[in-house]
């Protein structure tokens, strides 16, 4: 039942503090609406750290001419069904028809270095991750608007800030609902499980939303001192947002049977934030939660930071020297070196999670096909082609179902290199996604300075990818 405004302000201990949830947190409270064909399209963005070395995205079955073009970064295209995948990608060999190995998209608009923060999702330079640097809603939030759901956009993260062993609970995320606003995310599998599925696992907690509201209280209570006219308006906005939470919970409760059907099972090792869980156990648990939340209809867009430079990889069985991701980044690109080997190890484990996502979504019936038919997975580096960039290219792996509105599945595609005629930037790529799925925006994201200086066209979607 919706609480009366005056009653809520009386009963809420923090009402007098003037906690403002809007506009900063309106994005949390998604509204459901019908989709034209009856089934929404779903997106899973998987962000990884340390860049992607282009040499590791080449195919071992290249002809001499193709290998030369790849090395010299010339544009060309191949049919993956006629080629062998690199070892780290072979777990997805059975799904070549759904795969795209995409080269040539540059990330200069978001910048390289150790981190891109919100920039790689919003096609802007985020600098040191301060709110004033967030220029716009990130691509995942824009897509979530096109396919609404009770939770809207869901963000999960295994990023670990410098000096920390691990993070738990609800923490600041990298995605953004609007300019100068930052999303929240789930930092451990058990928190994500508890918050997303509590309508089934803990119905008594649904009305309170304690963990989320505690987070909002902590982040927003610092914004207000004494109350004046504008602060009272913020109080009013607070009530609106709390009522929106209750509305969302009502919609979630209506999905009870569907949620129960797709409820993931978490290993007890994840209890209390999972301090003893290995990295692989955490990745597997987050994968199960992503599948469950999509299948249950809680969200249609997930962004998952699968690692960052602080994420511990000491529990990987191949990591016999107990190195870390940062050291791997500084190890160079020597194919005979340990760092090069560890880069492939890390990606191999990532691809095992992608394999699980594809396999499980293909096993869930939807309409005349499966859930995967209406899903796109984008595995991307947050910083380009290496540890300290270069951001002139950012190799990606895409997995897309047969109802994709993009025409690129089953192919190895290398686009023209940065600063040359026909080159496409991260902004072009995100414009393409939006145009394909219902937002006819002329151009999303910042412009590339090199392309501008050379007076090369760089706005709009990548027309060849639009089905």
Domain assignment present for 201 = no
Q: Compute CA distances 93 → 84, 86, 176, whole Å.
A: 8, 10, 34
CB atoms within 10 A of CB 345: 17
Domain assignment present for 236 = no
This prediction has a pTM of: 0.88
Show Cβ contacts of residue 329 under 8 Å, excluding neighbours closer than 6 positions.
Answer: 49, 50, 51, 309, 339, 386, 387, 388
What would the two tokens of residue 58 be?
Answer: 């080449």
Domain assignment present for 13 = no
CATH number at residue 157: 3.40.720
What would the two tokens of residue 457 be?
Answer: 């066209």
Residue 380, classed as helix, strand or coil, is: strand
Domain assignment present for 333 = yes
Domain assignment present for 17 = no
pLDDT at 463: 97
pLDDT at 229: 57
Residues 122 and 110 sit within 8 Å (Cβ to Cβ): yes
Domain assignment present for 392 = yes
Q: How many domains does the chain have?
A: 1
pLDDT at 166: 82
Domain assignment present for 34 = no
The angle formed by the CA atoms of residues 169, 173 and 178, to the nearest 5 degrees, is 135
pLDDT in 10s for each residue of the chain, 467 residues: 333 334 433 433 333 333 333 334 444 444 444 444 689 999 999 999 999 999 999 999 999 999 999 999 999 999 999 999 999 999 999 999 999 999 999 999 998 778 999 999 999 999 887 899 999 999 999 999 999 999 999 999 999 987 677 899 999 999 999 999 999 999 999 999 999 998 888 877 765 665 666 666 566 555 555 555 555 455 455 545 655 666 677 778 778 889 999 999 999 999 999 999 999 999 999 999 999 999 999 999 999 999 999 999 999 999 999 999 999 999 988 899 999 999 999 999 999 999 999 999 999 999 999 999 999 999 999 999 998 889 999 999 999 999 999 999 999 999 999 999 999 999 999 999 999 999 999 999 999 999 999 999 999 999 999 97
**Strand duo 375-381 + 153-157: pairing:** unpaired
Domain hosting residue 394, numbered range:
41-189+254-465
Domain assignment present for 229 = no
pLDDT at 124: 97
pLDDT at 246: 62
Residues 310 and 159 sit within 8 Å (Cβ to Cβ): yes
pLDDT at 209: 60
């Amino acid at each position: 039942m919706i609480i009366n405004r005056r009653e809520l302000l009386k009963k809420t201990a923090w009402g007098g503090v003037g906690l403002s949830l809007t506009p900063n947190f309106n994005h949390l409270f998604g509204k459901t609406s019908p989709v034209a064909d009856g089934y929404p399209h779903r997106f899973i963005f998987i962000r990884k750290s340390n860049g992607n070395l282009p040499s590791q995205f080449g195919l071992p079955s290249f002809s001499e001419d193709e290998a030369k073009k790849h090395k010299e970064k010339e544009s060309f295209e191949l049919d993956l069904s006629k080629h062998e995948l690199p070892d780290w990608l072979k777990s997805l060999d059975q799904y070549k028809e759904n795969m795209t190995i995409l080269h040539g998209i540059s990330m200069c608009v978001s910048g390289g270095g150790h981190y891109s923060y919100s920039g790689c999702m919003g096609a802007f330079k985020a600098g040191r991750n301060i709110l004033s640097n967030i220029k716009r809603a990130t691509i995942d939030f824009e897509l979530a608007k096109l396919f609404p759901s009770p939770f809207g956009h869901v963000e999960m993260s295994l990023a670990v800030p410098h000096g920390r062993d691990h993070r738990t609970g609800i923490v600041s995320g990298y995605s953004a609902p609007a300019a100068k606003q930052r999303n929240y995310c789930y930092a451990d599998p058990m928190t994500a499980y508890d918050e997303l599925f509590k309508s089934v696992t803990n119905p008594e907690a649904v009305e309170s939303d304690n963990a989320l509201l505690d987070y909002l209280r902590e982040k927003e209570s610092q914004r207000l001192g004494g109350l004046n006219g504008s602060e009272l308006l913020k109080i009013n906005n607070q009530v609106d947002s709390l009522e929106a939470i209750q509305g969302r919970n009502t919609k979630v409760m209506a999905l009870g049977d569907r949620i129960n059907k797709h409820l993931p099972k978490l290993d007890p090792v994840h209890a209390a934030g999972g301090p003893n869980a290995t990295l692989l156990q955490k990745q597997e648990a987050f994968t199960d939660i992503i599948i469950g939340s999509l299948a249950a209809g809680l969200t249609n867009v997930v962004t998952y930071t699968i690692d960052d430079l602080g994420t511990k990889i000491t529990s990987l069985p191949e990591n016999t020297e107990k190195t870390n991701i940062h050291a791997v980044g500084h190890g160079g690109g020597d194919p005979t070196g340990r760092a090069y080997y560890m880069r492939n190890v890390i990606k191999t484990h990532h691809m095992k999670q992608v394999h699980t996502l594809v396999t499980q979504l293909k096993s869930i019936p939807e309409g005349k096909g499966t859930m995967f038919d209406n899903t796109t997975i984008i595995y991307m580096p947050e910083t380009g082609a290496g540890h300290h960039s270069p951001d002139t290219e950012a190799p990606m792996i895409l997995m897309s179902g047969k109802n994709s509105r993009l025409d690129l599945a089953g192919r190895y595609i290398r686009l023209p290199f940065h600063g040359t005629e026909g080159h496409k930037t991260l902004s072009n790529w995100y414009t393409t996604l939006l145009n394909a799925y219902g937002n006819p925006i002329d151009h999303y994201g910042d412009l590339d300075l090199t392309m501008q200086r050379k007076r090369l066209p760089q706005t709009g979607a990548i027309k060849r990818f639009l089905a």
